[in-house]
Amino acid sequence: MNWVRIRRALPEDTDAVAALDRVCFRTPWARNDFEKEFTENILASYLIAESGGRLIGYAGIWVVSDEGHITNIAVHPDWRDGGIATMLLQELLRIARGKGAARFTLEVRVSNEHALALYGKFGFRTAGYRKAYYADTGEDAAIMWLYDGEGNA
């Protein structure tokens, strides 16, 4: 694998993150949403994965009390299956634990086998489903949870 650096997202990363989000997701967030996450949301922590000065991935989490809610993990298609998402998730969990989080949750498309496998590797377990959660396809979302003391995270 080429050298990859994980760092905190900065407001000046907004355009690149929004562009990557459009490449990675059928229903991307608006640029303004990322800008607010990076500049106004005191609950949010976002990370950037870069190689050779190029943004190749990002991830975000909100920490509310003792709970971390993973908002997004995205890796450019050219860089998938290289451990980037694992690196991002490990660092997200470390940061969130440092802020007092002891349990973690997320929603993921039930058809997203790669993401389900990633989260399963960390010990996340499906606790339920949100029916027709994704407006673009009507697909269900799996609601996953990880509690500290469980799994490999």
Residue 5 and residue 9: Cα distance in Å, rounded? 12
Q: What is the pTM of this model?
A: 0.92
Kindly state the tokens that stand for 106.
């997320």
For residue 130, give both structure tokens. Answer: 């949100």
Query: Is-catalytic flag, 119?
Result: yes
Res 150 pLDDT > 60: no
Tell me the per-residue pLDDT of 80-105, one tens digit each, with 9 for 90 and over: 989 999 999 999 999 999 999 999 99
Can you give the pLDDT at residue 45? 97
The CA angle 33-37-38, to the nearest 5 degrees, is 120
5-28 pLDDT per residue, tens: 999 999 999 999 999 999 999 899
E strand residue ranges, 65-123: 67-75, 103-109
50 is catalytic: no
pLDDT in tens, 110-144: 999 999 999 999 999 999 999 999 888 889 999 99
Q: Which domains does the chain have, with CATH numbers?
A: 5-147 (3.40.630.30)
Rounded to whole angstroms, the Cα distance separating 18 from 4 reads 20
Catalytic one among 50, 107, 133, 134?
107
pLDDT given for residue 2 in this prediction: 63
**Distance between CA 102 and CA 72 in Å, rounded?**
19
- Radius of gyration over every alpha carbon of the chain, rounded to an integer in angstroms: 15
